[in-house]
Structure 1
Amino acid sequence: MCGIFFSLVPKSNSASSIGEDFSKYTLASLQLEKALKRRGPDCYNTSQQLTFFSTVLSMRDPLTPQPLQSAEGRILQFNGEIYDAVGELEGYRSDLLGDDAVCKNDTAVLSQLFERFGVIQTLQSIRGEYAFVYYDELSRCIWWARDCIGRRSLLVNRSRKDCIALSSLPAPDPGLRADWREVPAGEVYKLDLRIMDIEVISWSYELCGSLKYPYMPIYFDISLNQHSYDTLVTEFSSTLLAAVRRRVLTIHHSRSKADTYAILFSGGLDCTLLAYLTAICLRDHNAHVDLLNVAFENPRIGGGYDTPDRILGRQSWQELRSLPGLQSSQCDFRFVEINVPYNQVIEYKSYVQDLMFPKDSVMDFSIALAFFFAARGIGTMFTSPVADPVEEYSTLSRVLISGLGADELFAGYTRHGTSFARGGYEALANELALDFGRLHERNLGRDDRVGAHWGKEFRYPYLDEEFVDFALRCPLDSKLWVRGSAKEGKRLLRHFARVIGLYQVAGEKKRAIQFGARSAKMEAGKGRIRGTDKIV
């Protein structure tokens, strides 16, 4: 996880000639620099050829400072993880990361791949979660993009044709951030500095496009028989396990000195399956898996910290501990209760709102609030239901595994059943395609910005490219199970949960985090407030 800031302001322009003092978007104000250092506390540096400022949260040795500059004048700022490469790049990447190779870091590898294969061929062939800014001195071009799903944050400000700024975070000053927008996923941008024109290269499902998505569009078929369903469950478990393994076994602990992993854990179906698969990956490791469960003191509702997600989280933790398939595992689960008093909500309210911008709805704030405090990872830790708790425990894991994406891919929301009732499986397919296609705009950028404030990195096994390809190809009745008036979403996930012995978890219904943790509608006396209302 890293922080990116880039700006171009022509030297001939003074701040006054630009109009609204654009220089305040640069690091002269130090506001954005300070915020970005929270994302990457291990290293930060500035390159003044243009203005490149990067911070680094180092996940493995050796620490590679950014911005990374080559001898040929290329400059790369990279925030993310490259898990794999395909085609011609696969062998070349393996050579770069080999035992005798100089490049031991994804940023250095990506710089070499860009130089040898070009930006477009490289992006077509790599798999991972990223955002980047890349300057090619030879062509005098700036490239930038998020990965095609949009799992990392990147914002852009181009209020004038001759000025541009790119950043992982928005400007902290509300008066300066009106022109900041999220860079859409599914598009790669190339700015020619000689003419200041931007070319947009779009990802496409068609072979004729410059960039082809690494997965097919959603499958409309609904023909399932028992044999094909059993095969599908097996493929589901193996593909998701591979996605978890890519994200768990690439966590290096040379900096934290302890093998600690963490799951954003509400106790629901999606995250409990990830906790189980994480333990399977670590079966032969002496490791700890922290289950981070957040609860809010909500004065409007009362009831203390025994929120629905706290109660469910404890139950699911107990069920995980009792699974026969994990009894011989060397790793253990630790339940971490993160209690957030109302006074801390008030203390951090404006800061969370700054981080989540340009998202500005009441619902966005209640969700961002939950992820903000969950990512901090400070609470009371229980090693077992009968052991004494460890007060003021702080997770050592810099990576947080998230279950985001399961609902959008496997019909987990109530509205998916409503869509089916209105227009059958075709309407369901259209709703699922819409949900998956807007994850980058509705969820991912916001979540990255609030979680990375604590120097933490979210990783999304359900949004792994290979798993997404599998999920989009699944027949629709393996997602939404319909019998008469009864409808059950996430059929495949529930079946797999029963297969491994998570019977209680398999029956749990979807509950949004803001209601499960009670971070929604916390202020009494505000009257009727809808989630879509803007924050005032």
Structure 2
Amino acid sequence: MCGIYCYLYCKEAGQCDSRFSFAKEEILKYLHNRGPDGYSEHTINFGSAWSIDFASSVLWLQGLKPILQPVIDSGNNVLLWNGDIFDGPLETDSSDTLNLNKALGESGNVLSVLRCIRGPYSVIYFDAKHQHLYFGRDRLGRHSLLWSCDREGHIIITSVAKRNSLDFEEIPSVGIFRIDMNLPGVNIMLFPWTDISEEEINKVTSTSPVNIVVSDDAILSPIIPTPLSSIIEEDYLLNNFSANTEDLMEKLQSSNMKNSIDKLLEILRNSIKVRIEKQPGFCKNCMKIMRSNFNSKVSSLPEHLKVSCKNGYYSHKFCKHSKVGILFSGGLDSTILAALADEFVPHHESIDLLNVAFEKSKKEINLSRTQLKKTKKTEHNNMDYLVPDRKTGREALKNLKKLFPDRQWNFVEINITQEQLKNERKQTISHLIYPLNTILDESLGCALWFASRGVGFLRNNDDSLTHYSSPARVLLLGMGADELFGGYRRHRTVFKSEGWLGLKKELDVDLSRISTRNLGRDDRIVCDNGCQSRLPYLDETVVSFAYSSNRFSFLMCYPIQEFPPGVGDKLLLRLVAWKLGLHYPAKLPKRALQFGSRIANSKENGSDVSDRL
């Protein structure tokens, strides 16, 4: 993960605005947090016409050594790359930054190269020959990219900004944008993805502070619905209905559903595999040692720090600590990730399960202690943080330990006081959430930031606690599962009033707005802690499977009255969990992070603007 920044100023269009020129200094801290392994800058001037300032911080996660950015080739083309290429013709075991830069320089057609990328990214690329600046996010908008621009010829493009500075907006993930510097002023052309609706495009062009022209040349979307090998008839599920959840799960493992279950399990395995294996194999702590030894050649590193690549996983003789963490509530989505991660993380390494809880109010604490008079005395010392996600997390951990007894699972209890929440929200988190500003954004953003920081406790056999700070640099998150497989309560409500077509439409809307509602914010939040969020459920192959052209909504979820919450919602994903032996989380109803961690006040309206940001 990297922090990328570009300031483009058209000198001929107007006077320099000091707010833009000083913006980099205000957000430099947040750029460095995203990429602690290196930082570099580069400036280009076109006589009296244009000036471009590039900067980037780097989090090393691919290749045998870190590659500083901006990357400048022999043709003076400049690349700022914040992403991962997980599949497709550009996938490589070496540095994806260098591989992409080479492909862009040799091709002469920037868009033809970008459309081949399979993986999350935000990118800025200066084509020196044609004096074009390209920028944009992947089709799903999994990585953050913001912009602030005016009609006087100033534009800043950055991974992260600071509240109360300039007016920033998230760059819509509707396509790739291009600025033509052969023309006066800021002239932007949008090359949309092929599956973006005209309504979405019109919304972008009508609200932009600068003129955006939509090109007729669209970019082939990587979200390509693929045909399924079989169609599941709706009445098949009804015929196999059983009031007993265990019986139902067993019946639905039969041949009519088997192909779909096996296919989803296969593509999820592949998605998790590449997201675990594409990393250097150093934890945060050992990276501090590595930074002092970085040199122009890997061979110059001390022998015990040398890195080798075997079967896609980088290994060495030094770091044996946790390198993979999972934001873990004990629910369906995160426990599936944990179970499949066990297959690909080396067996001598631990996996960190990051479970966050926020301090209860005094009224809640007193009530809980009264209810637990007959429980273990040691529990009373932890009642402040015995929230729903802590309880389900511990139960799911038992399920994992039973299935995978040889794995060391570090269940990290992250306990956040009200004072910690107040201080960090003011100093840091409010800026990372920006430009979003609702109570829901605040609740989710704070929960994700503390969880991804990974500072908490491990519980010993005698129930005592040992302080622990997760050194994992790769975090697996379950984002996207609810949008793809119908996990929200409103999906059941829509189905009740509008039927299968209404549900299908709602799922389509969820996918179209996931970048603006969730993903950009989540990327800014998690990466501030010097680690990278990786989202296996939002792999292009998984999304394409969920949106297969010849499937009905009930193949993913079946929210009829007979299939209550915890059964009908995300039905296919629950069947995958059942097949893996995850019987406890397979039956858990959906619970939102903000309520499971007890950060949210149920009396507040999540869509209201938060006065705490």
The alpha carbon displacement at 1:302 in A equals: 3.0
CA distance in structure 2 between the partners assigned to 1:218 and 1:127 by the alignment: 16
SS at match of 1:48: strand
Which of residues 414, 430, 444 is equivalent to 1:338?
Answer: 414
Q: Cα–Cα, structure 1 residues 414 and 484, in superposed 2: closer, same or farther, change >3 Å?
A: closer
Give the one of 237, 245, 267 matched to 2:330. 267
1:57 Cα offset (Å):
1.0
Aligned position for 2:466: 391
197-206 vs 69-78, greater mean Cα deviation: 197-206
Alignment partner of 1:126: what SS?
Answer: coil
Cα distance in 2 between the residues matched to 1:219 and 1:407:
22
Aligned counterpart in structure 2 of residue 377 of structure 1, from 454, 458, 483: 454
Q: Secondary structure at the match of 2:607?
A: coil
1:291 to 353, 378, 389: 353
Q: 1:49-198, aligned counterparts within 5 Å?
A: 49=44, 50-60=52-62, 61-85=64-88, 89=89, 94=92, 97=93, 104-117=94-107, 118-170=109-161, 172=162, 174=164, 176-178=165-167, 180-195=168-183, 196-198=186-188
Residue in 2 aligned with 1:253? 281
- Uncovered stretches (5+) of structure 2, i.e. residues with no partner: 45-51, 197-215, 237-253, 287-318, 366-383
Number of the residue aligned with 2:28 = 33
2:232 and 2:256 in contact (8 A); partners too? no
Question: Does the Cα contact within 8 Å between 1:406 and 1:412 map onto a contact in 2?
Answer: yes
Match of 2:247 in 1: none
Per the alignment, residue 528 of structure 2 pairs with 453
Please list the CA deviations of residues 43-66 of structure 1 after superposition, one character each: whole Å capped at 9, or x if unmatched: 111102120010011124311001
Matched residues, number = 502
Following the alignment from structure 2 to structure 1, what is the Cα–Cα distance between the partners of residues 501 and 123?
Answer: 37
Matched, 1:362 2:364: no
DSSP-derived class of the 1:108 partner? helix
Give the whole-Å Cα distance in 1 for the aligned partners of 2:340 and 2:358.
28
1:111-157 alpha-carbon deviations (Å, 9 max, x no partner): 11112233211122121111011111101010001111111000011
Do the aligned residues in 1 keep the contact of 2:225 with 2:545 (CA within 8 Å)? no
Identify the residue that residue 244 of structure 1 maps to in structure 2.
272
* 1:319 CA drift (Å): 0.8
Match of 2:375 in 1: none
- What is the Cα deviation at residue 18 of structure 1? 4.5
Q: Partners of 1:301 and 1:511 in 2: how far apart?
A: 22
- In structure 1, the residue corresponding to 2:121 is in which secondary structure? strand
Question: Which of residues 541, 544, 558 is equivalent to 1:481?
Answer: 558
Alignment match, 1:48: 43
Comparing 498-507 with 143-152, greater Cα deviation is found at 498-507
Q: How high is the TM-score relative to the length of structure 1?
A: 0.89
| 1:182–1:445 Cα contact (<8 Å) kept | yes
Q: In 2 relative to 1, CA 434–535 (structure 1 residues): closer, same or farther, beyond 3 Å? A: same
- How many Å apart are 1:299 and its aligned residue? 2.4
TM-score, structure 2 as length reference: 0.78
Retained in 2: the 8 A contact 1:370–1:514? yes
**Structure with bigger gyration radius:** 2
Shift in alpha-carbon separation, 1:514–1:20, aligned structure 2, 3 A = same
Shift in Å at residue 285 of structure 1? Answer: 3.1
Shift of 1:194: 1.4
**Matches of 1:387 and 1:300 in 2, distance apart?**
27
Q: Take 2:103 and 2:462, find their aligned partners in 1: how far apart are those partners?
A: 51
Distance 1:43 1:20, change over 3 A: closer
Distance in 1 of aligned mates of 2:151 and 2:473? 38
Superposition deviation, residue 22 in structure 1 = 2.7
Q: Say which is worse superposed, 448-457 or 220-229, in terms of deviation.
A: 220-229
For 1:138, the aligned partner's letter is K
Give, as a single letter, the amino acid of the residue that structure 2 aligns with 1:148: R
CA deviation vs aligned residue, 1:144-192 (integer Å, no higher than 9, x gap): 011111110000111225111100012x250x232x1101113100100
* Counterpart for residue 508 of structure 1: 588
Which residue of structure 2 lines up, in the alignment, with residue 532 of structure 1? 607
